[in-house]
Amino acid sequence: MIRLFSSLFRRGTGIPGKVEKPESIGAALREQGSGIQPDAGGPSVASGSDHIIEGTIMTREESMSKLTKLTSAFAAAGVGLAMMATPIVAQAKEVHIKVQAVIGVQTTEVKMLRDFMDDVTALTGGEVTFEVLPAGAVVGVKETLDAVDAGLVDGGFAWTHYWSGKHPAAMLFGSPVAGAGVGIDNIAFVSWFHFGGGKELYDRLWDEMGMNVKGFMLQPVGPEALGWFKEPINSMEDFRKYRFRTPPGLPGQTYKDIGVASVAMGGGDILPALEKGTIDAAEWCCPKPDSVFGFQKVLKHYYLQGLHQVTVNADMYLNRDVYNSLSASEQKALEVAANASLSKSLSYRIYENGKALKDLTENHGVQLHDTPAEYFTEYMAAAKKLLEEAAADNAFFAEVWQSQKDFADIAVPFWAGAQASNAGLGKAHADTLK
């Protein structure tokens, strides 16, 4: 009997491979005085729920009956009932993770984020659930990553290049200017990430930043459109006449280096600036997000082909203590769901942008144009120069960029040829629709 009891005691819960998980560090900090109350209550054992004793699934009544018999046996053997104070049966805690986004919760990006989260919940049998908080819910947008690092919020959602101020290499993961200068588009980026060493470098990025987080790449978007203009631009000379809203960082600096009057501003400021004449032209993303923003209300000339953000990647990152509190199977569920999100977001964007472009051109008077050929040579040359300067200044940036260049030397010649064939195939059909 003593040996039997010792065996049960060592097993703790009696549930193989399952341990009680602590509350998230975010919840702990909130309880210590942040002013945000943690969720009330905790896991409980419901009547009729299943329990596991010695690897056998039993009902509550059966388990209690067996416990009664064991107690009697221990008493008969002279073992004090006080030893039974150690719980033999326990139920694993559910984990509820709160993630603050840098955008509103009604956006397309958050829709795809929730799809990823639903996959994780399903893969974990409901043990891991999520809540998406809008931008500014706990901290300001710029403080989101720091808040996750400190445990003030469990996780964050943004585009990786948002944190280029903490480390320049973040741009190479979130928005590699001009396809990293070596022709990497959104699909090729996913190939590099999975098979060219990108994921291993991405995992190191957060350590290079000094951030206590675990990142998950989720949403590759692109290529982003060159942008919207008042009048057609037939040359770079025409382009240089306009004050042009661009992204911050290297993409925007590259425009300045080729003589375009680049003006960096947040997304919410673009349309008012166009209406007031503060800027004359602008880029944001792609047909679907652009149409939601309402560019078609003030500008009618649209150029799809651009180099500044050939791919743009959004990710979710968790406080590493929260991540480490998860079981191995729950961590694997996050990885599997993230890989699925990379594929699903690419697929989703193709169809949604196609529908939006059709609506813009057929119902809103938008005219679609080809980007002047000289733009590509000028922008690519300027982007490579800036990338070389950044690599000379930072060793990890240089390592990541070299990895992308090594990948491109092998993959891009094939992929560029395949894409040219695909483009010809697609154009043959598109021309029949005119």
Mean pLDDT, residues 137-161:
96
Judged against a pLDDT cut of 50, whether residue 292 lies above it is answered with: yes
Collapse the DSSP code of 175 into the 3-class scheme (helix H, G, I; strand E, B; otherwise coil) and give the result: coil
Classify each residue of 89-113 as buried b or exposed e, where b means 16 or more C-beta atoms within 10 Å of its C-beta. Answer: bbbeeebbbbbbbbbebeebbbebb
Name residues whose C-beta falls within 8 Å of residue 422's C-beta, 6 or more positions apart in sequence: none
Judged against a pLDDT cut of 60, whether residue 46 lies above it is answered with: no
Q: What confidence score (pLDDT) does residue 296 get?
A: 96
Range name among 13-22, 90-99, 168-177, 377-386 with the lowest pLDDT average: 13-22
Distance CA 130, CA 15 (A): 24
Pair 341, 316: CB distance under 8 Å: no
Judged against a pLDDT cut of 70, whether residue 235 lies above it is answered with: yes
Judged against a pLDDT cut of 80, whether residue 388 lies above it is answered with: yes
Range name among 69-73, 126-130, 212-216, 376-380 with the lowest pLDDT average: 69-73
Q: What confidence score (pLDDT) does residue 92 get?
A: 59
pLDDT band (50, 70, 90) for residue 81? very low
pLDDT band (50, 70, 90) for residue 54? very low
Domains 95-223+313-347 and 227-310+357-394 share a fold: yes
Mean pLDDT, residues 414-426:
86
Pair 411, 272: CB distance under 8 Å: no
Instruction: Name the residue ranges covered by the structural domains of the chain.
Output: 2-36+51-85, 95-223+313-347, 227-310+357-394
Q: What confidence score (pLDDT) does residue 397 get?
A: 98
Mean residue pLDDT of the chain comes to: 82
pLDDT band (50, 70, 90) for residue 91? low
- How many of the other CB atoms lie within 10 Å of CB of 297? 12
Topology of domain 227-310+357-394, CATH: D-Maltodextrin-Binding Protein; domain 2 (3.40.190)
Judged against a pLDDT cut of 80, whether residue 53 lies above it is answered with: no
| Residue 46: CA count within 13 A, CB half-sphere | 4
Write out the H or E segment, with its range, that includes residue 301. Answer: strand 301-303
Judged against a pLDDT cut of 90, whether residue 237 lies above it is answered with: yes
Highest mean pLDDT pick, 14-18, 59-63, 362-366, 421-425: 362-366
- pLDDT tens, residue by residue, 185-228: 999 999 999 999 999 999 999 999 999 999 999 999 889 999 99
Judged against a pLDDT cut of 60, whether residue 31 lies above it is answered with: no
Please give the structure tokens belonging to residue 419.
């894409």
Name residues whose C-beta falls within 8 Å of residue 238's C-beta, 6 or more positions apart in sequence: 231, 232, 372
- pLDDT tens, residue by residue, 322-335: 999 999 999 999 99
Mean pLDDT, residues 137-163:
96
Q: What confidence score (pLDDT) does residue 268 get?
A: 77
- DSSP-derived letter for residue 180 is I
Pair 143, 297: CB distance under 8 Å: no
Q: What confidence score (pLDDT) does residue 249 get?
A: 84
Mean pLDDT, residues 67-74:
39
Judged against a pLDDT cut of 60, whether residue 23 lies above it is answered with: no
- pLDDT tens, residue by residue, 238-273: 999 999 999 888 899 999 999 999 998 877 789 899
428 or 413, higher pLDDT: 413
Q: What confidence score (pLDDT) does residue 265 get?
A: 84
pLDDT band (50, 70, 90) for residue 47? very low
Judged against a pLDDT cut of 90, whether residue 184 lies above it is answered with: yes
Please give the structure tokens belonging to residue 360.
């813009």
Please give the structure tokens belonging to residue 413.
């010649």
Mean pLDDT, residues 134-163:
96
Q: CATH class for domain 95-223+313-347? A: alpha beta
| Percent of the chain surpassing pLDDT 90 | 69
Write out the H or E segment, with its range, that includes residue 99. Answer: strand 95-101
- pLDDT tens, residue by residue, 98-108: 999 999 898 88
Range name among 36-50, 113-127, 289-303 with the lowest pLDDT average: 36-50
